[in-house]
Amino acid sequence: MAPSAKRATVYFDPSLHKALKLKSIETSKTISELVNEAVKGALAEDAEDIAAFEERAGEPVITFSEMLKRLKKDGRI
């Protein structure tokens, strides 16, 4: 564990904890390493989503019913 790592108590569902222990053994990583990797991945996904929303912020907004009309007109539904 990194020397600047912070300690926290996390409560897992028993079956999730068992799965983490098994994955820990199979990958030779600690549960902390696995959880840190998972959280980093989730945060990276969030950052990508925010960037995509920001890129599209200038696009015109249409209603759901208008989108359905367009899809029907184009023969997609």
For residue 42, give the H/E element and its range. Answer: helix 31-55
Query: DSSP of 46-58, one letter per residue?
Result: HHHHHHHHHHTTT
Q: Could you say which DSSP state residue 10 is in? A: -
User: What is this structure's pTM?
Assistant: 0.67
pLDDT of 1 reads 61
Give pLDDT tens digits for 7-54.
Answer: 999 999 999 999 999 999 999 999 999 999 999 999 999 999 999 999
Other beta carbons within 10 Å of 63: 8
Distance, in Å, from the CA atom of 57 to the CA atom of 44, rounded to the nearest integer, reads 20
Domain ranges of the chain: 14-73
pLDDT of 30 reads 97
